[in-house]
A and B are shown apart, each in its own frame.
Chain A
Amino acid sequence: MAARKRTLLKVIILGDSGVGKTSLMNQYVNKKFSSQYKATIGADFLTKEVQVEDRSVTMQIWDTAGQERFQSLGVAFYRGADCCVLVYDVNAQKTFENLETWRDEFLIQANPNDPDNFPFVVLGNKVDFEGGKNRQVVEKRAKQWCAQKGGIPYFETSAKEDINVDAAFQCIAKNALKNETEEEMYIPDTVDMNAQSAPKRRTGCC
């Protein structure tokens, strides 16, 4: 009996309180948005089936509380993550500056095998807010930061107007899957150097 490829991806959403983590998730999965703010208590997750490159995978998205008093639960949540989504509010400079902290925090707590290549995705949320009049972080600056950190994909989103949300999560799924694939490829590589780069579908039978 051949082992099947794992089809579950664990994604963590991090960012300051109030940048719209829960809203992004809710928009992505339920296509719903409410401008009423309610702080997330503790954490919750949601699962969604996604099609990535001809594969159907289940994405488990963990939404954690941005407020500091819940953060010490981090270790439990971050472990085994396949991708980490960092969210900030383009209208609040501070939330952008804190991305660094969130990233470091995640890497320390989750302790992934290859921290330099661990997939992150950065989302600059609330681009719709007041038509961008109060924008404090310009796109260039965010992109610069992402480039410095090893080319993190960057998306400007609006959970409210559903701008770029699907695209962002599609990218998240893809990157998470890439991370997983690379890990799995490690075993066959030692056996056969001619293994094709695309994972071969298993054709074995009983």
Chain B
Amino acid sequence: MLHRPLLLENLRKELSAHLRVSTRSGPMASDFKAFESTAILTVHKQKIQDLVCWDSRLLAALDDGTLLVIGRQEATESPEGRPWQVHRILKGFGKKYLLNLQVVRTRTALLSASDEGINLHTLPRLQLTAQATRTRGANCFAWDESKGMLAAACRKRVQLLQYDGRDFLEVRELGMSDIPLTMKWAGDSLAIGFKRECYLVHSISGTATEIIATGRLGRPHILSLPSAELLVGHDNVSSFVGHDGKQLHKKSLSWSEPPSAVVYTEPYIIAQLSHSLQARLASSRIMAQELCQNLDIPGATALTVSSQVNGSVFVACQAGTQSSIHHLVAVPLDQQAEALADLGDFLSALELACLLPESQAGVRHKLEEALRVRYGYHLFASDDINQGMAQIGISASASPLVLLNLLPSLTPPSVLEPLELLLEDMVAECKLPEVQEPTGDAYQAAVSAILPYLIGHRSRLQAFEAPGSPRKMQSKQGFSQFELQHQGSADEQGHPVISDGNDSLTDMESPAGSLQSHQLSPSQSVLQASTYMSGMEEKDRSHLSTLVDTAIIKAMLLMDDTGSLLRFVQRPNSVDLAEGCHILRSAGRYSELVALLQQHAQYDQALDLLRNLSQDPSRLEVPPRGAAADLKGLPGVWSAAKMLAAIGPKQLDVLWHHARWILKADPDHGLAMLLEMRPSLAPEVVVQMLNAFAPAFCAQYLETAMDEGIAKEQDFQTELAMIYLRLALDGGQQHPDAGQQGSSNHRADTPGQSMAHQRLKTMILTGKFVDHGRLLRVVPTTSLLEIRALLLERLGRHHEALRIYVHQLDSPLLAEEYCDRLYEAKINGLKANLQPMPDTWAGVEPEASYDMYIALMQVYLEADSRGYPDRSASASGASTSQSWERVCQLLSRKQDRIEPLKALSLLPGEVPLHVVLPFVKSSLRTLGEQKRTLAVVKGLSRAQDLESREKLTVCKKRNVLLSFERACAFCHKRIGNTAFTLQLIHHPNIACIGVSGLGAHSPEALLESYCPVQRSMSSLLQEGRAQQISLWRVDCKCSALKLGYFCVVFYAVEEHACINCRQSLVCFKSAFLPSDHVP
């Protein structure tokens, strides 16, 4: 049963050794030194049976019973370097032999087992003070210092003796089945090793429990460990056993041969073997069996741990006839760890580092971090790339430089250059080896493994730089973080230790709902503090960001294209622009390149590239790959348009540069781009641009821009009209045969032109801000007559407009409609009593509009006198009669709108009467009708007037009396008969005030207006004006009104109201007035 697992282990070992053959290239861990050994003393001939340390001295028991007291020589300069010497030789300390020694520290005494039994001697004088009875021939003993209990094994019994300070008193005797070979106290029990097994025997009850079956080889050994554990040896294996006899760990230590004795000096257990000493870690954290030092000290007979010199061990050995004592000094743990790391055993090194005491936390942390990185490098070099990265990742102080150093091809030299010193420092500090960059598949794997870590570092760098991140806390926090990590790791239960060094301020803008906003925000990525950042200068950090980001794009390029690279460069990044461009360009990843350039505000370059991609991809040196392959043709244009729209108007030169090809390639998107820009682009610029590159889209732009309010109508309506005009004209030029034929022929034009024509018409008719004069100057005289007529109409040049309708367009119908339109507009305007006509109608004089028909007549008649090019002169007679006819038709149709006398006077004498007769007749009839109608209206008005007057009279009949019982409206004081005095005053303009409403004036104003008059009142009265209306001042001493009240007295109507409160206050008929006041 014992051998099968071993066999399995061997097989496994072989297998894994085979798998990892390349990993262990350095010397084996057996070369590792936990202790340095020096021979300090040679004793001739005798064998040293036992050795103990007391104070700074060594006590050695020789097999002939002699006790040696060994110490350092005195009176030499350096205390450490002093050689050791034998101070005293006590022959016959034991009569025949001495077996074991033990120092009783609390009583500074020495217990020794000799042929005489177990004796107690004082120290340092070595005088016998007590003897344990019945212990003669004891072959081993165990001393429990806390209880003062001695257990001595003599043959098949164990004697328990209590030491009371003077003597040993027998307590109990326990019978054994075999002779105990070794014995240790374990609580109340004794662990006793026999030849074939170990038992735990309770010291009171005597019950025995088997701990473990020891083997057939050698002596058993039992070691009491400070952690209330026993290390029990059986054959060549030592197991950890609790005081209850149960095996504690599944693990055990195995030695190359059964040890004859073991000692513990933290953290090692040293076993005494026949040809050497072996030191192994006693750590119970994880298996550390491999960690073993063989100390070549053959024939060891005794070993003891120094209580003074920390951790050092003294060994006695016998070689031939000569015995010697060696001093083993522990190498400091950190040095051991370093040495192990140098040997390539990083796990052991890390374990040792963990064992560094809390007092050396700083050293431990630093060591551990460096070891992780070294281990990572080591694993990486051994093709265990993922594990390697993970190890480096655990180290909080490892900057991305350390990672990237493994894959130098990811870091362009120019980007790395500013950080090279830092890297060198780091390499030197962690003693990082040169690692060959992997090739082929391994390289691919390495890149894909490094990428997440780079992104992780990136997140941390960003979080560190982000506002509100605990940058200032970082140094402190770094420490607490590492503590956290390591306390956590030391904690057996895996319970993390709460650290409160993390509280820090976060954004002040945190939502009000956040209950614990004082705490660290979860995503600030100081989850695992990367301590390297706080130690770096800001400049270096930014270099580092650049390096990381550049490496990320290089790494992503090497991976399958999942679109992540594109997304990466589309977001804000610190990629080195020159390098990034070079890398992406040479990979043909133009889409990513464009995004990168855009992200770095290199719009011109980005757009140039897009132009090449969309218009002429064959000119690119490297064929487009990835998303860029789809950018040929329109998609490229769309991308460019989108980019320009996003850039907005701040980069006008770039816009000017690229608008041309975009507008050319896809005017619709180009136009949308110009319209979508926010803040919107100045319409002047757009119009200029469109006029230059895509004139056909100018109108469309302006229409949309005005609709959306980007362009103001007052600024661009004329511009738009001009554009319509141009468009309409372009059609005219393209179809010369249609051009001269007037408006009807335009219908046959291309849809664009007819649309432009229509829009121009609408614009002229309805546009509020069209500059008609300007348009008129550019409208040709030969084409677009209708437009011209419209313009003239809007300018109020009706004669000219009518001429065009009548003579050039030969369309009396239109001319008449024109007149009707104007007439009705005018009439409607008057009727509705609207505001003055719209601005554009301002040129139309009111009289002229009434006489539009007269004007039309004049135009008709002009044809005779002047003749027009399109009228044949020979047919003048016919035309004359024709125009008369027209005039008369007009007259009869519109007789109600034409002033007959004016019309008649216009008609030339040769017009036959019969032609005019119908008009005259109907005119007379109409006039008579009008006269009668007006008479009726007049009568009605008069009746209305009278009615109104009557109503007014009724209304004015109100008559309020002021009696002495009434109170003042303001001070509520009864007016009484003495409360006020009346003063008759007179105002020259009193009639005016009275009519326009006295209440509208403030008392002050009124006073000012009458006061000057008051002085000349009598003269006014004499003039007789006072008989009509008088103004009264009512002085009621009201404090609210300094000036008192004013009342107006109409002699005729007798109505008075306080001008302030409107309450009728006083009504004095003249008869009431005291006579002395009446003039």
| Contact A26 B522, beta carbon cutoff 8 Å | yes
| Contact A206 B11, beta carbon cutoff 8 Å | no
Q: Which residues of B contact A191 (CB under 8 A)?
A: 8, 11
| Contact A72 B567, beta carbon cutoff 8 Å | yes
Q: 8 A-B Cβ contacts within 8 A?
A: A25-B527, A31-B498, A34-B519, A36-B521, A42-B456, A49-B485, A202-B9, A206-B29
Q: From B525, which residue of chain A is reached at the shortest CB distance?
A: A44
Given A30-B502, A75-B560, A43 and B30 touching (CB < 8 A)? no
Which residues 57-87 in A have Cβ within 8 Å of B in the complex? 58, 60, 62-63, 69-70, 72-77, 79-80
**Leading 4 A-B pairs by shortest Cβ distance:** A3-B16, A49-B489, A51-B494, A72-B564
Whether A47 is near chain B, meaning CB under 8 Å from some CB there, is yes
Whether B19 is near chain A, meaning CB under 8 Å from some CB there, is yes
Which residues 502-529 in B have Cβ within 8 Å of A in the complex? 502, 506-507, 510-511, 513-517, 519-525, 527-528
Which one, A8, A26, A196, contacts B387 given CB within 8 A? Answer: A8
A94-110: CB near B (< 8 Å → 1, else 0) gives 00000000000000000
Which one, A4, A33, A205, contacts B522 given CB within 8 A? Answer: A33
Given A1-B28, A49-B494, A62-B452, A194 and B522 touching (CB < 8 A)? no
Which residues 160-196 in B have Cβ within 8 Å of A in the complex? none
Q: Which residues of B contact A29 (CB under 8 A)?
A: 484, 488, 496, 527
Whether A200 is near chain B, meaning CB under 8 Å from some CB there, is yes
Count, chain A residues at interface, CB 8 A:
69
Whether B451 is near chain A, meaning CB under 8 Å from some CB there, is yes
Shortest Cβ gap from A42 to chain B (Å): 5
Whether B448 is near chain A, meaning CB under 8 Å from some CB there, is yes
Shortest Cβ gap from B554 to chain A (Å): 14
Which residues 1-42 in A have Cβ within 8 Å of B in the complex? 1-4, 6-8, 10, 22-23, 25-26, 28-36, 38-42
| Contact B455 A43, beta carbon cutoff 8 Å | yes
Interface of A is mostly: mixed
Q: From A51, which residue of chain B is reached at the shortest CB distance?
A: B494
Whether A56 is near chain B, meaning CB under 8 Å from some CB there, is yes
Shortest Cβ gap from A81 to chain B (Å): 10
Docked complex Cα distance between A32 and B522 (Å) = 8
| Contact B515 A202, beta carbon cutoff 8 Å | no
Which one, A2, A8, A54, A192, contacts B290 given CB within 8 A? Answer: A2
Whether A201 is near chain B, meaning CB under 8 Å from some CB there, is yes
Whether A149 is near chain B, meaning CB under 8 Å from some CB there, is no
Q: Which residues of A contact B286 (CB under 8 A)?
A: 4, 7, 55-56
Q: Which residues of B contact A49 (CB under 8 A)?
A: 485, 488-489, 494
Docked complex Cα distance between A1 and B28 (Å) = 8
Docked complex Cα distance between A47 and B249 (Å) = 26
| Contact B285 A56, beta carbon cutoff 8 Å | yes
Shortest Cβ gap from A181 to chain B (Å): 14
Known contacts A26-B520, A77-B452; 11 additional CB pairs below 8 A are A1-B13, A22-B522, A22-B527, A40-B523, A42-B459, A43-B459, A56-B285, A192-B7, A200-B9, A203-B254, A205-B256
Given A23-B522, A34-B521, A51-B492, A200 and B5 touching (CB < 8 A)? yes
| Contact B8 A200, beta carbon cutoff 8 Å | yes
Docked complex Cα distance between A3 and B528 (Å) = 29
| Contact A34 B13, beta carbon cutoff 8 Å | no
Whether B680 is near chain A, meaning CB under 8 Å from some CB there, is no
Q: Which residues of A contact B287 (CB under 8 A)?
A: 4, 201-202
| Contact B8 A195, beta carbon cutoff 8 Å | yes
Which one, B9, B451, B462, B520, contacts A204 given CB within 8 A? Answer: B9
| Contact A76 B452, beta carbon cutoff 8 Å | yes
Docked complex Cα distance between A44 and B524 (Å) = 10
Whether B17 is near chain A, meaning CB under 8 Å from some CB there, is yes
Shortest Cβ gap from A87 to chain B (Å): 13
Shortest Cβ gap from B1031 to chain A (Å): 78
Docked complex Cα distance between A73 and B459 (Å) = 14
Docked complex Cα distance between A60 and B12 (Å) = 27
Shortest Cβ gap from B283 to chain A (Å): 11
| Contact B285 A205, beta carbon cutoff 8 Å | no
Q: Which residues of B contact A58 (CB under 8 A)?
A: 390, 394
| Contact A47 B393, beta carbon cutoff 8 Å | yes
| Contact B567 A69, beta carbon cutoff 8 Å | yes
Which residues 1-49 in B have Cβ within 8 Å of A in the complex? 4-13, 15-17, 19-20, 24, 28-30
Q: From A2, which residue of chain B is reached at the shortest CB distance?
A: B13
Count, chain B residues at interface, CB 8 A:
88
| Contact B390 A60, beta carbon cutoff 8 Å | yes
Which one, A36, A54, A170, contacts B506 given CB within 8 A? Answer: A36
Whether B776 is near chain A, meaning CB under 8 Å from some CB there, is no
Whether B146 is near chain A, meaning CB under 8 Å from some CB there, is no
| Contact B29 A1, beta carbon cutoff 8 Å | yes
Docked complex Cα distance between A70 and B570 (Å) = 12
Shortest Cβ gap from B504 to chain A (Å): 10
| Contact A206 B30, beta carbon cutoff 8 Å | yes
| Contact A192 B11, beta carbon cutoff 8 Å | yes
Shortest Cβ gap from B604 to chain A (Å): 27
Q: Which residues of B contact A80 (CB under 8 A)?
A: 386, 449
Whether B374 is near chain A, meaning CB under 8 Å from some CB there, is no
Shortest Cβ gap from B558 to chain A (Å): 11
Docked complex Cα distance between A80 and B254 (Å) = 35
| Contact B506 A34, beta carbon cutoff 8 Å | yes
Shortest Cβ gap from A68 to chain B (Å): 10
Which one, B451, B513, B523, contacts A41 given CB within 8 A? Answer: B523
Q: Which residues of B contact A48 (CB under 8 A)?
A: 485, 488, 496
| Contact A42 B510, beta carbon cutoff 8 Å | no
Docked complex Cα distance between A43 and B28 (Å) = 39
Shortest Cβ gap from B583 to chain A (Å): 18
Docked complex Cα distance between A99 and B959 (Å) = 93
Docked complex Cα distance between A201 and B6 (Å) = 10
| Contact B12 A188, beta carbon cutoff 8 Å | yes
| Contact B499 A30, beta carbon cutoff 8 Å | yes
| Contact B516 A34, beta carbon cutoff 8 Å | yes
Whether B876 is near chain A, meaning CB under 8 Å from some CB there, is no
Docked complex Cα distance between A75 and B649 (Å) = 40
Which residues 314-339 in B have Cβ within 8 Å of A in the complex? none
Docked complex Cα distance between A200 and B1 (Å) = 14
B20, B498, B525: most-surrounded residue (chain A CB, <10 A): B525
Docked complex Cα distance between A64 and B1003 (Å) = 83
Whether B205 is near chain A, meaning CB under 8 Å from some CB there, is no
Q: Which residues of A contact B452 (CB under 8 A)?
A: 43, 45, 62, 73, 76-77
Shortest Cβ gap from B340 to chain A (Å): 12
Whether B562 is near chain A, meaning CB under 8 Å from some CB there, is yes
| Contact A35 B516, beta carbon cutoff 8 Å | yes
| Contact B456 A43, beta carbon cutoff 8 Å | yes
Q: Which residues of A contact B449 (CB under 8 A)?
A: 79-80
Shortest Cβ gap from A52 to chain B (Å): 8
Whether B493 is near chain A, meaning CB under 8 Å from some CB there, is yes
Whether A46 is near chain B, meaning CB under 8 Å from some CB there, is yes
Docked complex Cα distance between A52 and B17 (Å) = 26
Q: Which residues of B contact A41 (CB under 8 A)?
A: 459, 462-463, 523
| Contact B523 A38, beta carbon cutoff 8 Å | yes
Given A200-B8, A205-B292, A206-B30, A76 and B254 touching (CB < 8 A)? no
Which one, B347, B559, B562, contacts A4 given CB within 8 A? Answer: B347
Docked complex Cα distance between A25 and B520 (Å) = 13
Q: From A50, which residue of chain B is reached at the shortest CB distance?
A: B494
Q: Which residues of B contact A33 (CB under 8 A)?
A: 516, 519, 522
| Contact B496 A45, beta carbon cutoff 8 Å | no
| Contact A1 B494, beta carbon cutoff 8 Å | no
B361-385: CB near A (< 8 Å → 1, else 0) gives 0000000000000000000000000
Shortest Cβ gap from A156 to chain B (Å): 20
Whether B650 is near chain A, meaning CB under 8 Å from some CB there, is no
Docked complex Cα distance between A5 and B645 (Å) = 58
Q: Which residues of A contact B522 (CB under 8 A)?
A: 22-23, 25-26, 32-34, 36, 38
Docked complex Cα distance between A202 and B290 (Å) = 9
| Contact B9 A51, beta carbon cutoff 8 Å | no
Shortest Cβ gap from A66 to chain B (Å): 11
Q: Which residues of B contact A205 (CB under 8 A)?
A: 254, 256, 289-290, 292
